[in-house]
Structure 1
Amino acid sequence: KPVNSLSFTFNVSIQSSVIERKLQAIHQKLNLIKNNYNSLVKLEMAWISYYWQEQGRKDFEKIKKTAGRIQKLYDKKEVEDIVILGIGGSDLGARALHKALNAGEYYNIRRSRDGPRIHFAGDNFAPDELSAILDSINIRKTLLIVISKSGTTAETFSAYSFFKEKLIKALGEDEYASRIIAITGFNDKSLLYNENEKLKQKGKEFFAILSVPEGIGGRYSVFSPVGMLYAKIAGLDLDKFLKGLRKAYHRYFGPLSEENYPYPYKLAKIMYLLNKFDKKNIVVFMPFDNLLEGLSRWYRQLHNESLGKTVNEHIYKDEKENTIARIFFSYNQDKTQYRAFKVYDSQGNDLGFIPLNLGESLTFKLEKEDINLTITREKKDSSVKDKITFTDNKNKPITYQEDIITHTQGTTALALVGTRDNHSSWQLINNGPKDKFVIFIRVEKQSPDYKLKASDIDYLKDKYLGEDMLVAAQIGTEKDATENNIPNVTFTIPYKDEETLSELMYTLMLTVAILGELYNINPFDQWAVEGYKGEMKRLLKDKRGSSSLKKKFRDIVSYGKESFIFNKGMPIYFYILKNFLKKAAGYIFSFIVRFERSKSHYLVIAPTSCSPTNLRRGISFSTSRHRRIASLMRLMSVGSVFAWVWHPRKEGHVAINIPSSSFSIITGNSSFFDIFGLLCKQIITFIKRSVKVSTIKDEERLNKLLNLIKGYKQTAPPQRISDNILTQSTFSSIFASSLPLIIQINKKKLTITQKDLQEITSLLPKILKEYDIRGKEYS
């Protein structure tokens, strides 16, 4: 018989009294803040109770009214299609509901459908997909729903621009907006919001504009207008969604006891302990129902984007080196956003959440030490950082020491579907490395369901496809996993409807939030997603894309160029970056040369510690057109130096094979700092022969550079030197033994001391930042 509500069983035996106590503290912490909606918003945790807050009630009323207006247009045959544009959390939740409750791609051809056809797009740069959708709709009878909190998401906005252009062509500048619904942030940072404000002044605003609620991140937003407007348009019952959410909320935020141990806490405990103590690093999410495939993809994003994090733990100590507090910070790649999210006292007690807006402060009392700890969120230019201060009872600052430890956390979620993936991935799960944990989803009752009255396979006769076969397949897979020592749990829902799915999805969201607490990471940010966006923007600033590197060279060459002979008379231009002569150290870690005979090939030389990926990021020579950039380069390992040859324009697989014997500077056991020695020689030659000093200021810069490189003091016996390169010792051994780097040029010995090298190193972050290279990462 089907169960009455969501149920949970587990085939795992693992316990920890320490984690039990920590879960008790997390439960208490969440219960203390659950009714403070303002703090939940600041913490990006408003999804916990948004639905029955005033903002939630208003949003749901607006959703119903908007959907009602659309239905009227459909009944009048003025609207036939809805195109929903979004990516990530603005897309996966609605798609999951569409697949589970409306059969996904079959919805549009259903005879029972009583509303507009629904199409999803905007989750990639996909010209063929957009073209196919356009070919299947009447643009004049189509509504666009554009979902983007910032209103600037590139994938979504490009799709929006595509359809908007078609709408303008079909309806004109004055009428296109009547076919657009925006779900976005209500602030002037959103392009969609700003566009609607301008249209309002002309009396031509969007068909509707709804808010992405403050304090709710994309992957937690499915039960806000982001997912619920779709749901209402598609004929789903919003009140049933709310019923399931309220049921989960009351069950999970009640008193915690052995009799009432909520599912999210059980599941989070199992997942955390299996990862930490049994090295289960892969979480397989596997519903046994084809129509729950969208749920698998939704969970994959929820899990991976929430739990894959690198954070810094700052340990604060007094003058006697006793720990007084520990604070965890999350940050973006260049650390311009550096925010505290968790604080512990010296006894290891979690002092609570840190709900801060810009300019706000929060003070914690450290009872044992009788010290006040204050965290202040400050903004300077585009940076947002939290300032930490310790004071005594008289408000006098206390001096402290600070250590920093970096932690990287995360398990990998896989999105599978039974029984389909029993025939694609179960072999690996069951018979491969035992590094996996499985979450099964079982649906007890399918509606409709079909009975096989006759079958040549005897055990299938008179069995229902769903209630008998699919359930038996799930239970069989579960038992198979257990017998093969694969830990697993099963969520069972009585049937698929709005109430059971909202209860299940809320359970999974809360589980991930609790896991964030256990791992000491912030599960509500996603700084690492922003990295590719910045790189993509830089590449796309030049409309020709693949020519951006060449354009960069043209723009930055300011002091001229000099030809050098490396070997066999091969002429090579050495490009010196803009302002390079001010800070010559900018090229210690990478420099670029150009072949005169093959004018579009570039040779890049860098130390082995600099990976191809990081080097490509650093000097931005990947292109938007070439996704398989690795196939366009030939990686050569030469001693301890890497060299790439890259062609920016050729299509297809291009590799230029340059044997190491072609270049004397990268033969034998030469280290990168051998090349640095030659580089110093070439800089001086360049200065003497090529640079025309145009101003006194330039002359001062040149003199400063010469003084930096020309150290004529001989503080130690010179190393063995050849005319061209330093061959005897690597930089590391020279530095470690406190010997200076000696370079012989024109019969003069030039000494670069440790102090010079330290000065050069200290300049690197600033230099690299100036050229859009992540200085801190490289230094």
Structure 2
Amino acid sequence: MIREERTDSELLRISYGMSMDGGSSGVNFEALEGYGALLSRGDDLLRKSAALGEDGFGWVNLPGEDISRIEKTGKWISGFDAMVQAGIGGSALGNLMLHGALLPPYWNELPPSGRGGPRFYMADNVDPADSRMIWNLTDPASTVFTVISKSGSTAETMANFLFFWDLLKSELGPEKAAEQVVVITDEEKGVLRPFADETGCRRLVLPADVGGRFSVLSPVGLLSAAALGIDIKKLLGGASEMDEKLAQKRSVFDNPAWLMAALSVAHYRHGRNMTVMMPYEDGLERFCEWFAQLWGESLGKAGLGSMPVRALGDLDQHSHIQLYTEGPHDKIFTIITVGESDQDIVIPESKESSLSSLSYLFGQSMNSLRGC
């Protein structure tokens, strides 16, 4: 049995019947409906806490914030050849998620006329070979360096930034170097704010009530998106629209967020302590990385929590599928597809007799092979 939840805008459809057989899974409709009151209280708490400006809930309000300074700074960066960002965790994964989902693949390989924005490099992991290669691939005179840390004390981020900052000063001199640095940090706390005051570099504020992993719709994620040509007004508009729709849905089977939460908790309580996120588009691979941080850091508390597993179909159908289908029954799977792709390839027919056994592929849509 397949039951579907569909938003009014037709942007989202959830088919969840296979996760609710009531037999071997132990999850049925009655069990999910039983979570309704708890989810309602949680939803109300989230919205009320955000409205009161309580610490940690500010991300709920981000779609309605003023983004004029972000747009202005992004437009300035768009005129450079490259943008290098030093950040990690929430100061990196959300950016890469947006870029992967909303920009053409192989962005840095496109000619300037095909990009309309700078090449982008993320310095997140502490790897000397990687950091040095980023420096070697960019011209300091035409590169903007951003550093993102709420406290300014994140060791990995600051190690990478100090490396680039030292070289940038050597190449351009301190004053010119500062003109090509953007700091995103807390308004009042940490070392990066006084650094910006001392050097005169540009500074954007990471709101104090927004946690790092939830900061993608703040300057943390929006600045690079704007610089690379993503329409951040539309992005925030979509987030606001979805929030409004969810606020009006007050039952488990009407509200996609409640439904996904109820399914996850119900399966967890039946021994499925691993949740596999598996999109079928390469552009959503980074979405899985971002999801894994959100899930792991938010739910891994007090000896509880389920393990997020990142997968990419069809790739992982040829690496993990044996474990998924015949291994322990300890996982819940979320399969993501894009409804209508704007690109496809029709597999051409080949005349070589040695390839005749592949005739079943001739004339087939490449998109149709996903999930086979």
Using the size of structure 1 for normalisation, the TM-score is 0.43
- Cα distance per residue 1:104-140 (max 9 Å; x no partner): 5x1111131112111111x222110011111111112
- Take 1:4 and 1:460, find their aligned partners in 2: how far apart are those partners? 32
TM-superposed CA distance for 1:47, in Å, is 1.5
- Take 1:36 and 1:155, find their aligned partners in 2: how far apart are those partners? 32
Contact 1:185 1:212 in 2 (8 A): yes
TM-superposed CA distance for 1:461, in Å, is 2.6
Question: Which residue among 221, 230, 239 is the counterpart of 1:245?
Answer: 239
1:12 aligns to 2:19 (yes or no): yes
Unpaired segments of 5 or more residues in structure 1?
200-204, 311-407, 477-779
- Which residue of 1 is the match for residue 333 of structure 2? 438
- Which residue of 2 is the match for residue 462 of structure 1? 363
- Which residue of 2 is the match for residue 354 of structure 1? none
1:155 aligns to 2:156 (yes or no): yes
- Which residue of 1 is the match for residue 134 of structure 2? 133
* TM-aligned CA distance change 1:37 to 1:301, over 3 Å: closer
- Which residue of 1 is the match for residue 261 of structure 2? 268
- Cα distance per residue 1:3-40 (max 9 Å; x no partner): 9411111112213757645432432453366256453x
Contact 1:96 1:298 in 2 (8 A): yes
Contact 2:35 2:262 in 1 (8 A): no
Alignment of 1:221-620 (within 5 A): 221-257=215-251, 261-277=254-270, 279-310=271-302, 408-454=303-349, 456=356, 457-466=358-367, 468-470=368-370, 473=371, 476=372
Contact 1:450 1:464 in 2 (8 A): yes
- Which residue of 2 is the match for residue 377 of structure 1? none
Contact 2:150 2:206 in 1 (8 A): yes
- Which residue of 1 is the match for residue 5 of structure 2? none
- Cα distance per residue 1:380-421 (max 9 Å; x no partner): xxxxxxxxxxxxxxxxxxxxxxxxxxxx21110111100001
- Take 1:438 and 1:422, find their aligned partners in 2: how far apart are those partners? 13
- Take 1:28 and 1:254, find their aligned partners in 2: how far apart are those partners? 14
- Take 2:167 and 2:32, find their aligned partners in 1: how far apart are those partners? 57
Query: Whose relative contact order is higher, 1 or 2, with alpha carbons under 8 Å and at least 6 apart?
Result: 2
Contact 1:182 1:192 in 2 (8 A): yes
- Which residue of 2 is the match for residue 94 of structure 1? 95
- Take 1:302 and 1:255, find their aligned partners in 2: how far apart are those partners? 23
1:51 aligns to 2:63 (yes or no): yes
* TM-aligned CA distance change 1:32 to 1:254, over 3 Å: farther
1:63 aligns to 2:70 (yes or no): yes
- Take 1:100 and 1:241, find their aligned partners in 2: how far apart are those partners? 12
* TM-aligned CA distance change 1:439 to 1:272, over 3 Å: same
Contact 1:80 1:142 in 2 (8 A): yes
TM-superposed CA distance for 1:98, in Å, is 1.4
Aligned partner letter, 1:114:
G
Contact 1:24 1:256 in 2 (8 A): no
TM-superposed CA distance for 1:211, in Å, is 1.1
- Take 2:192 and 2:84, find their aligned partners in 1: how far apart are those partners? 16
TM-superposed CA distance for 1:151, in Å, is 1.2
- Take 1:297 and 1:422, find their aligned partners in 2: how far apart are those partners? 18
Question: Which residue among 114, 117, 136 is the counterpart of 2:116?
Answer: 114
- Take 2:269 and 2:73, find their aligned partners in 1: how far apart are those partners? 48
Contact 2:84 2:145 in 1 (8 A): yes
Aligned partner letter, 2:118:
P
- Take 1:218 and 1:171, find their aligned partners in 2: how far apart are those partners? 32
TM-superposed CA distance for 1:222, in Å, is 0.9
Greater C-alpha radius of gyration: 1
- Take 1:89 and 1:224, find their aligned partners in 2: how far apart are those partners? 11
Aligned positions, number: 350
Contact 2:100 2:286 in 1 (8 A): yes
User: Where do 4+ consecutive residues of structure 1 move more than 6 Å?
Assistant: none
SS of residue in 2 equivalent to 1:222 = coil
- Cα distance per residue 1:493-544 (max 9 Å; x no partner): xxxxxxxxxxxxxxxxxxxxxxxxxxxxxxxxxxxxxxxxxxxxxxxxxxxx
Question: Which residue among 203, 207, 219 is the counterpart of 2:213?
Answer: 219
Contact 2:32 2:263 in 1 (8 A): no
TM-superposed CA distance for 1:238, in Å, is 1.1
SS of residue in 2 equivalent to 1:451 = coil
- Take 2:261 and 2:51, find their aligned partners in 1: how far apart are those partners? 26
Q: Which has the higher strand share?
A: 1
- Take 1:460 and 1:43, find their aligned partners in 2: how far apart are those partners? 55
- Take 2:38 and 2:294, find their aligned partners in 1: how far apart are those partners? 24
SS of residue in 2 equivalent to 1:286 = strand
- Take 1:459 and 1:445, find their aligned partners in 2: how far apart are those partners? 24
* TM-aligned CA distance change 1:33 to 1:309, over 3 Å: closer
- Cα distance per residue 1:440-475 (max 9 Å; x no partner): 001122222222242553332322222x222xx1xx
Q: Which has the higher helix share?
A: 2
- Take 1:20 and 1:444, find their aligned partners in 2: how far apart are those partners? 28
SS of residue in 2 equivalent to 1:409 = coil
- Cα distance per residue 1:54-90 (max 9 Å; x no partner): xx12xx111111112223xx2xxxx321101110011
TM-superposed CA distance for 1:182, in Å, is 0.8
Aligned partner letter, 2:269:
K
Aligned partner letter, 1:116:
P
SS of residue in 2 equivalent to 1:309 = coil
Identity %: 30
Aligned partner letter, 2:132:
S
* TM-aligned CA distance change 1:113 to 1:255, over 3 Å: closer
TM-superposed CA distance for 1:251, in Å, is 1.6
- Cα distance per residue 1:278-332 (max 9 Å; x no partner): x00111110011221101111111111111101xxxxxxxxxxxxxxxxxxxxxx
- Which residue of 2 is the match for residue 488 of structure 1? none
- Take 1:436 and 1:223, find their aligned partners in 2: how far apart are those partners? 30
- Take 1:88 and 1:103, find their aligned partners in 2: how far apart are those partners? 23
* TM-aligned CA distance change 1:49 to 1:21, over 3 Å: farther
* TM-aligned CA distance change 1:295 to 1:70, over 3 Å: same
- Cα distance per residue 1:187-213 (max 9 Å; x no partner): 1x32111111223xxxxx11x211112
Aligned partner letter, 2:218:
S
Contact 1:86 1:156 in 2 (8 A): yes
- Take 1:17 and 1:450, find their aligned partners in 2: how far apart are those partners? 44
Contact 2:50 2:60 in 1 (8 A): no
Contact 2:49 2:57 in 1 (8 A): no
Contact 1:146 1:182 in 2 (8 A): yes
Contact 1:82 1:116 in 2 (8 A): yes
- Cα distance per residue 1:199-255 (max 9 Å; x no partner): 3xxxxx11x211112221111111111111111111111122122212211121114
TM-superposed CA distance for 1:49, in Å, is 2.4
TM-superposed CA distance for 1:97, in Å, is 1.4
- Take 1:417 and 1:410, find their aligned partners in 2: how far apart are those partners? 22
- Take 1:215 and 1:88, find their aligned partners in 2: how far apart are those partners? 17
